[in-house]
Amino acid sequence: MKIIIASDHAGYELKEKIISQFQKEFEFDNYGPFSSESVDYPDYAHPVADKITKGEYEYGILICGTGNGIGMTANKHAGIRAALCWNKEIAALARQHNNANVLVLPARFIAENDAFEVVKTFFSTSFEGGRHQRRVEKIDIH
C-alpha cells in the first residue's frame, strides 16, 4: 500500500518515526517538511488532500501538534474524511463507520508507541459499509 504522509514542524519527528517503523509494510511518499523548522500546516494538508481526491493515493497520514489544524484543513476538500485519532479504538471506528481516508495524529498528545498502534489499526481495519455508507454519502456538500 502506498501512503502519502506530511506534517508541520510539530509533527515532523513523529512523521519520520512512523516512516521508519512501517517502511516494510507501506510505501510512503513523504510530502514534507524535511526538518523541524517552523512551517504552516495548510501548505502540507492541501496538497496531500488534493492528491487523494485526484486518486493518486487512496490514503494519507497528516500530523501536527494537536491534529486539529491540519485535519480541519484537509477536511475542507470534498471526498476527504480526515479523522483525528489518539487511540486504536478511535482509529478502528474511523475506518469502520466513517470510511476515513486520512489518519490525523496529534504529535504533542500521543505517545510514540500509541501512535504506532493507531497506524496499525487504521490501516488494518475495513469500512463496514451498510448503514454507514448512507451516512458517509451525506458528509460532502454538493
pLDDT in tens, 73-120: 999 999 999 999 999 999 999 999 999 999 999 999 999 999 999 999
Kindly indicate the confidence band of residue 128, based on its pLDDT and cuts at 50, 70 and 90: confident
Residues marked active site are found at 64, 97
Dist. CA 136–CA 88, nearest whole Å: 21
What the chain holds in terms of domains, given with CATH numbers, is 2-111+125-137 (3.40.1400.10)
> What's the whole-model pTM score?
0.96
C-alpha cell belonging to residue 112: 510514540
Widest CA span of the chain, in angstroms?
Answer: 44
pLDDT in tens, 20-58: 999 999 999 999 999 999 999 999 999 999 999 999 999
